[in-house]
Structure 1
Amino acid sequence: MTAPSRAALPEPRAKEVEAPRAAVPIPRLGPKACPVSCTLLTFFLLAVCSIHKTEQKGYCENIITKKHLDNLQDLIDSQMLMSCHVSFEFIDEQELGDPICFVKAAFPRLEDILDKMKFKTNSDNFNKTKDVQNMYKKIDENEVSCIDDQDEHERELSQACSKEFSMPPEKMLQKVKDFFQQVMGLLDKNVDFKRDCSKTYQKCSDALKKESPSLDRRRKEAQPKETQREVMSYVLVAILTIVAILLAVGGLLFYKHKSRTQERQLQHRGNVLEEPEGRPLNGVEEPLELRVQGEL
């Protein structure tokens, strides 16, 4: 048996070398992942802000209720009709013509008006007044005020919009009710009280400056009349004083004259009574002597 030839035997395969495997990229938080995470974070912040804003809006909307307005109406209806007036300072809404700026300027001044609402302790009206006052305080007790405060510039300008009011108690309470009802409507509409009202308040200041010269002119025009009246009053007083002095002097002279006349009359009567008794007889004796001499 012959061995197979070397050519007939298959040659051994060369050992295959495995090709290097490509490295699998490790996922990293790079530019592709950032938009997703940023979007989630933004969405989360917006959600938190939205919830906070909703809570804020709900808080402000629920502060002034129909019950508070009904309490104010009961206080108005329970007032006695009288001629007594209550004086207070408040913002003239008609002069402003802007509800938001009016509320911002009038809200701090409302505290003085509420303090004038005094009733007997523990009475029904007393409790209703306290309820309204507590509601007023809660408007500013929130973390973010429902009615934004005025800045210093606005506060100074709004002083010119203040006006002195004098009215019966029931009308003052009606003004308070109208104010809270107006605030309630604005809060329901979610208006922005952060608006700058400097220009609106400036109108009051400009109007006051225009009125000042006219008032000065009126005072100057009225001064001659007042001076003439003062002169006439002085003359009248002087005339009355002179007349009073003359009457007093005349009365004194008349009294002295009358006293002297009475003294003379009394002296005359005394002289008549003191005349000697022989004097009238001499007048009678003379004719008797003549008679005797004639007879002789």
Structure 2
Amino acid sequence: MTAAPSAALPEPRAEEVEAPRAAVPMPRLGPKACPVSCTLLTFFLLTACSICETEQKGYCENIITKRHLDKLQELIDSQMLMSCHVSFEFIDKQELGDRICYVKAAFPRLEDILDKMKFKENSDNFNKTKDVQNMYKKIDENEVPCIDAQDDHERELSQACSREFSRPPEKMLQLVKDFFQEVMDLLDKNVDFKRDCSKTYQKCSDALKKEPPSPEQRRKKAQPKESQREVMSYVLVAILAIVAILLAVGGLLFYKHKSRTQERRLQQRGNVLEEQEERPLNGVEEPLELRVQGEL
């Protein structure tokens, strides 16, 4: 008997070999580190700027205090009521109508008004005035000024917004107090004084061109003509006086010359008359003498 062929056994599976995986690149620190470092740098810069702004804001807010305003009010209350006025030039706030532009234009002009606040040295009012003046100077002592200065164009245009004031001392001090109160309120609100105020100042110049000149302005304009007339009148009077003096001197000299001439003529006539009188007398006396001699 032949053996039945045995069933074919399945061939053992070859173990599946995993395909080699592609090498995963290691993360590079550069691209991921750059955003992180830039973010940190930006954060530090913003923090530094905010700190700087906070310090700047704190410095400006602490410059003008209620204590300074109280001292100004005490100066106002201590003034004598009198009729005398103090003349000064300042910015007309009502004409501007802009608080920031008013402060920028009026701030440099306030120094002249503060210089007019004169009191006896070492007196109470003198010390209060010095305190206010020092406060005014400190506003610009910081590295970044609290009130940005005007540029040349703004400064030139703002001249048209200035006018002459004439007020009693207490009214002048009240204007100073109102100005510092205005500055303190604006600094508390952290306003931006970098605003360009050229257009606002230009309105003052345009208004001056449209408005007719006031009597005072006309008087000021007429002063040169009046002064010229006065000078010409003085010159004319001086010329007439000199002519009168010369005429008087000439008349006096002519009178003296004429008097001397007349005296000489009178003397000459007198001499002639004397000679004429002496001649007949001499002629008569001679015969008389001869007669007397003959009789003797």
Same topology, TM > 0.5:
yes
Distance 1:106 1:214, change over 3 A: closer
What is the CA distance between 1:211 and its match in structure 2?
2.1
What is the CA distance between 1:207 and its match in structure 2?
0.5
Distance 1:177 1:159, change over 3 A: same
Q: Tell me the SS of whatever aligns to 1:146.
A: coil
Matched, 1:164 2:164: yes
What is the CA distance between 1:210 and its match in structure 2?
1.1
Q: Deviations over 1:67-107 (max 9, x none)?
A: 10010001001101111100000000000000000000000
Instruction: State the partner residue of 1:148.
Output: 148
Structure 2: state its 5+ residue gaps.
1-19, 227-296
Distance 1:135 1:39, change over 3 A: same
Question: Take 2:201 and 2:33, find their aligned partners in 1: how far apart are those partners?
Answer: 53
Instruction: State the partner residue of 1:195.
Output: 195
Matched, 1:46 2:46: yes
Instruction: State the partner residue of 2:245.
Output: none
Question: Take 1:114 and 1:24, find their aligned partners in 2: how far apart are those partners?
Answer: 78
Aligned partner letter, 2:172:
M
Q: Tell me the SS of whatever aligns to 1:33.
A: helix
What is the CA distance between 1:28 and its match in structure 2?
3.7
Instruction: State the partner residue of 1:183.
Output: 183
Instruction: State the partner residue of 2:131.
Output: 131
Q: Which 4+ residue blocks in structure 1 deviate beyond 3 angstroms?
A: 20-29, 212-215
Structure 1: state its 5+ residue gaps.
1-19, 227-296
Aligned partner letter, 1:153:
H
What is the CA distance between 1:34 and its match in structure 2?
1.4
Q: Tell me the SS of whatever aligns to 1:108.
A: coil
Question: Take 1:40 and 1:28, find their aligned partners in 2: how far apart are those partners?
Answer: 19
Question: Take 2:143 and 2:25, find their aligned partners in 1: how far apart are those partners?
Answer: 51
Instruction: State the partner residue of 2:87.
Output: 87
Q: Deviations over 1:237-278 (max 9, x none)?
A: xxxxxxxxxxxxxxxxxxxxxxxxxxxxxxxxxxxxxxxxxx
Instruction: State the partner residue of 2:120.
Output: 120
Distance 1:207 1:126, change over 3 A: same
Where do 1:91-106 residues align within 5 Å?
A: 91-106=91-106
Q: Deviations over 1:139-172 (max 9, x none)?
A: 0000101000001100000000001000100000
Aligned partner letter, 1:42:
T
Instruction: State the partner residue of 2:67.
Output: 67
What is the CA distance between 1:214 and its match in structure 2?
8.2
Where do 1:261-280 residues align within 5 Å?
A: none
What is the CA distance between 1:30 and its match in structure 2?
2.3
Aligned partner letter, 2:100:
I
Instruction: State the partner residue of 2:278.
Output: none
Aligned partner letter, 2:97:
G
Aligned partner letter, 1:111:
E
Matched, 1:207 2:207: yes
State the percentage of identical aligned residues.
89
Q: Tell me the SS of whatever aligns to 2:32.
A: coil
What is the CA distance between 1:21 and its match in structure 2?
11
Aligned-residue RMSD, C-alpha: 2.5
Question: Take 2:164 and 2:183, find their aligned partners in 1: how far apart are those partners?
Answer: 22
> Could you state the TM-score of these two structures normalised by the residue count of structure 1?
0.64
Instruction: State the partner residue of 1:37.
Output: 37
Aligned partner letter, 1:60:
C
Instruction: State the partner residue of 2:276.
Output: none
Question: Take 2:188 and 2:213, find their aligned partners in 1: how far apart are those partners?
Answer: 43
Instruction: State the partner residue of 2:57.
Output: 57
Question: Take 1:35 and 1:102, find their aligned partners in 2: how far apart are those partners?
Answer: 46
What is the CA distance between 1:119 and its match in structure 2?
0.5
What is the CA distance between 1:178 and its match in structure 2?
0.4
Question: Take 1:213 and 1:106, find their aligned partners in 2: how far apart are those partners?
Answer: 24
